[in-house]
Amino acid sequence: MDLGIKGRWALVCASSKGLGLGCAASLAAEGVNLVMNARSEPLLNEEAKRLAAEYGVTVHAVAGDITTEAIRQKALAAAPQIDILIN
């Protein structure tokens, strides 16, 4: 299905497993570049690398608690702009 969102940027929170990872994978399949966030850095990095390789999109992993200002700023700085937010 072509949703017309290829090339856009999404920030997907809690994306190292479960529903968040499913959302990230679905967006990557549509050609959306990702900023993935989760607290578990090793798992987050592993999944970010996998999605980038599998779908050919740019993926940045930002580990940490998204409710803190420092992590929010780091996540927002990882992409030129955020078009889609999955929280």
pLDDT of residue 79: 95
pLDDT bracket for residue 38 (50, 70, 90): very high
Domain 9-86: state its class.
alpha beta
Q: Where are the domains of the chain?
A: 9-86
Mean of per-residue pLDDT scores for the chain: 97
Tokens representing residue 84 in the block: 């889609």
DSSP 64: S
The structure's pTM equals 0.94
Instruction: Note whether 54 and 29 are within 8 A (CB).
Output: no
66 CB contacts (<8 Å, ≥6 apart)? 13, 37, 72, 75, 87
pLDDT in tens, 6-25: 999 999 999 999 999 999 99
